[in-house]
Amino acid sequence: MEGSAAMPESRPTSGPQAHMRGATPWIMLALATTGFGVNFWAWALLSPLAPRLQEQLGLTPFQQSLMVAVPVVVGSLGRIPVGALTDRFGGRVMFPVVSVITILPVLFIGLAGHSSLVALLVGGFFLGVGGTAFAVGVPMVNNWFPPERRGLAIGIFGVGMGGTAISALTTVQLVDAGGTQTPFVVMAIVLALFTVVSAVFLRDVPGRVVPSEPFGQRMGATLRLRVTWQAAALYAVAFGGYVAFSVYLPAYLESAYGRTQVDAATKMAGFVLLAVAMRPVGGALSDKFGAVRVLNIVMIVVAIGAAVQAFTPDLNPLGTIAFLSMAGALGAGSGAVFALVALLAPANKVGAVTGIVGAAGGLGGFVPPLLMGALYGEFGSYAIGLALLAGVALAALVFNQTSVRRATAASTATAR
């Protein structure tokens, strides 16, 4: 039964061995969060430049959406094998590996790959590797903290998704100051620095349980867990909504409200920062009140915000309130989902579960930009897309209050 499988295997998360050579839970959390943020910064480099590249290359709205969506889908699907590999090899190995691989597409796009749509799609495909860093950090952080603090710890780790805000705030300005290659060269240097720091200082928790089963067998067992699909569905809405807005909001604000590139990117950064700040809040509230209650509130707020924004109200103040409400709710919801994973997933399968759930979240962010671009190209309006988001949030509310609530109650009863 899933309830019994959710009981984590005993392992040391503190004590003398865990503090050897400065390896404490909070230091490891800080390093993992930094790595997540740096790789997400790289992952999001194309989004702020999308309007400019559309103009330079004569792209259609759908081609523009495809350009920013390709790294999202690759980074999402890539989390499945990377999460399983992290269960096997640990974050100490996987964080430097993911970071150094991401340097290559960053330099390719910056130095040559921004001159055509095909080159951007190829570079964006490999840029997606940066998005897999999420599946490295969650199981690593989960191992370093006891169950009653994992919601908060994984929520703090989730602050690393603010790397997309750094990209939004700096990419266009760096291009204006030094040319298209500048933000990509800067990013490559930052990734190289983190690769060295993580290789030297990062540690896995002493006594970490290493799965002995073959990859296929482990993935099959992971896919049979109810929590895998329950959390994946909820994360597709919560984190998927965040990703969709973070990559498409600049284009939306320019098309629907006539905002400049810099102004649109700045407003997107505000959306991202609020979502980032609310992620640990969602995790902490889930530790205290339960993830199901937090997710119920999240889905209600998203449904209302999307319904309001479907009418394209003035940004000051109603549109701003709608977007910021959705940002806070989506951030809190992302933290709550992984509090749910920490509660229900077996300890030695957290990486594999995280990979699948993280993939669902990224894919949840892949579809909306394409859909919004296609709908806007066809009807000249975003109303239908936002109305669909409201409907999806309501469906997620019903699912969370029924199936997920029952699974959580059963797991809690078994633990007692």
For 52-72, write each residue's pLDDT tens digit.
888 888 888 788 878 888 888
Q: Is residue 252 part of a domain?
A: yes
Tracing tokens 């509130």 back to the chain, one arrives at 297
pLDDT of residue 342: 79
Tracing tokens 């290789």 back to the chain, one arrives at 199
pLDDT of residue 235: 92
Which letter does DSSP use for residue 8 in this model? P
Which regions of the chain are under pLDDT 70? Answer: 1-23, 411-416
Instruction: Write the CATH number for 55.
Output: 1.20.1250.20
Q: Is residue 387 part of a domain?
A: yes
Q: Is residue 291 part of a domain?
A: yes
CB within 8 Å of 281: residues ≥ 6 apart:
155, 331, 332, 335
Distance, CA of 243 to CA of 221 (rounded, Å): 28
Q: Is residue 4 part of a domain?
A: no
CB 304 within 8 A of CB 175: no
pLDDT of residue 20: 41
Which letter does DSSP use for residue 382 in this model? S
Nearest-CA neighbor of 180 among 32, 324, 360, 45?
A: 45
As a whole number of Å, the end-to-end CA separation of the chain is: 15
Structural domain for 39, as ranges: 12-415
pLDDT of residue 295: 96
Amino acid at 59: L
Q: Is residue 127 part of a domain?
A: yes
Nearest-CA neighbor of 70 among 36, 19, 121?
A: 121
Q: Is residue 7 part of a domain?
A: no
How many domains does one find in the chain? Answer: 1
CB 130 within 8 A of CB 40: yes
Distance, CA of 404 to CA of 227 (rounded, Å): 8
Could you report the per-residue pLDDT of 82-115, keeping only the tens digit for each?
988 998 899 999 999 999 999 999 999 999 888 8
pLDDT of residue 2: 38
pLDDT of residue 376: 78
Distance of CA 172 to the CA centre of its chain: 22
Q: Is residue 6 part of a domain?
A: no
pLDDT of residue 5: 39
Q: Is residue 3 part of a domain?
A: no
Q: Where are the alpha helices (DSSP H) in 182-260?
A: 182-201, 215-223, 226-257
pLDDT of residue 3: 38
* Residue 281, CA distances (Å) to 40, 202, 287, 351 in order: 20, 26, 10, 22
